[in-house]
């Protein structure tokens, strides 16, 4: 393990956490900055490209007064300028009437290191449980 | 970035992460001295609840360092415990910390607590 490798592992984990920050703060530019422009996306927002998912995000977020994407487990595998990161998340959705829904989500991300750092280039989102 | 610079940065990041976790653990232990040790002497620290009355589960943690100061955001699920191992309330909150590097290491100089949600969990009968 080299210092550069440790920086990479940290940077990869941070991309996914910045996604959560962007969504929870309704900072769509921050959300978009976590992905490559041609990122493939398969999940709860869209099936196809990240552009479709980002386009669907504002309407989805409008359903909730607030969200908190609480992330724990992050399993990172580095391979040069590529990485995989699997993240377990419990998403808390506060409804406009004050109610709360809780969803267990697994993000499977492939990341690429580019000129501007690590970005997600493929994402699969699995809704694992809800309560 | 040289290996030395990378290690210095990683050491700072780990120190900040460890400080936030130590603070959460000290709150749960009901150890006000240990909690206050996480803050600068002029910072208003958290009120420390009675030992054994909370469990703080720390999640998402992001920090950015700018010289001798830093900003960190940490997601926390604060479980308020009741009798017989029950959970009465779960509060989802964010700690927005301003930190400063002191002679004794990193300390929190200002903490903003933002409550995102609160869920009552009635005590099981």
**A100 touches B: beta carbon within 8 Å:** yes
Pairing status of strand B54-66 against strand A117-130: unpaired
* CA end-to-end span of chain A: 40
d(CA A50, CA A109) in angstroms, rounded, equals 12
Closest residue in A to B63 (Cα) is A14
* pLDDT higher than 60, residue A103: yes
**Of residues A109, A103, A105, the one with CA closest to residue A13:** A109
Please give the distance of CA B33 from its chain centroid, rounded to a whole number.
Answer: 15
- Rounded to a whole number of angstroms, the distance from the CA of A56 to the nearest CA of chain B is 23
The pLDDT value recorded for residue B46 is: 64
Dihedral Cα A92, A23, A58, A114, nearest 10 deg: -140
* pLDDT higher than 60, residue B123: no
More confident position, B45 or B29: B29
Most A-contacting residue of B75, B90, B94 (CB-CB within 10 A), to test interface: B75
| ipTM associated with this complex | 0.96
- Pick B13's closest partner by Cβ from A10, A21, A94: A10
Question: In which band, very low, low, confident or very high, does the pLDDT at B122 lie, cut at 50, 70 and 90?
Answer: low
Strand order in the sheet with B54-66: B54-66, B69-81, B87-102, B105-120
Structure token pair of residue B125? 């009968």
* CA end-to-end span of chain B: 59
Question: In which band, very low, low, confident or very high, does the pLDDT at A127 lie, cut at 50, 70 and 90?
Answer: very high
- Pick A20's closest partner by Cβ from B7, B10, B60: B60
Q: Which residues of B touch A (CB under 8 A)?
A: 1, 3-4, 6-7, 9-10, 13, 59-62, 73, 75, 77, 92, 94, 116-117, 119
Residues of A in contact with B117 (CB under 8 A): 66, 68, 92, 94, 100
> Which helix H or strand E contains B118, and what residues bound it?
strand B105-120
């Amino acid at each position: 393990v080299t210092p550069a490798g440790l920086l990479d592992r940290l940077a990869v984990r941070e991309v996914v956490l910045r996604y959560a920050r962007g969504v929870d703060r309704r900072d769509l530019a921050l959300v978009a900055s976590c992905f490559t422009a041609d990122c493939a996306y398969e999940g709860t927002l869209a099936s196809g490209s990240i552009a479709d998912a980002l386009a669907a995000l504002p309407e989805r977020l409008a359903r909730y007064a607030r969200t908190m994407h609480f992330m724990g487990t992050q399993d990172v595998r580095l391979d040069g300028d590529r990485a995989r990161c699997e993240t377990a998340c419990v998403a808390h959705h506060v409804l406009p009437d004050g109610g709360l829904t809780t969803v267990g989500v697994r993000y499977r991300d492939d990341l690429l290191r580019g000129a501007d750092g690590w970005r997600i280039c493929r994402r699969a989102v699995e809704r694992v449980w809800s309560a | 970035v040289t290996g030395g610079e990378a290690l210095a940065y990683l050491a700072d990041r780990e120190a900040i992460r460890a400080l936030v976790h130590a603070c959460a653990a000290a709150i749960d232990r009901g150890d006000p001295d240990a909690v206050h040790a996480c803050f600068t002497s002029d910072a208003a620290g958290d009120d420390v609840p009675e030992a054994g009355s909370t469990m703080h589960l720390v999640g998402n943690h992001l920090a950015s360092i700018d010289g001798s100061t830093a900003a960190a955001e940490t997601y926390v699920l604060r479980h308020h415990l009741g009798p017989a191992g029950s959970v009465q309330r779960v509060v989802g909150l964010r700690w927005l910390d301003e930190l400063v590097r002191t002679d004794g290491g990193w300390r929190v100089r200002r903490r903003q607590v933002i409550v995102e949600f609160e869920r009552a969990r009635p005590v099981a009968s």
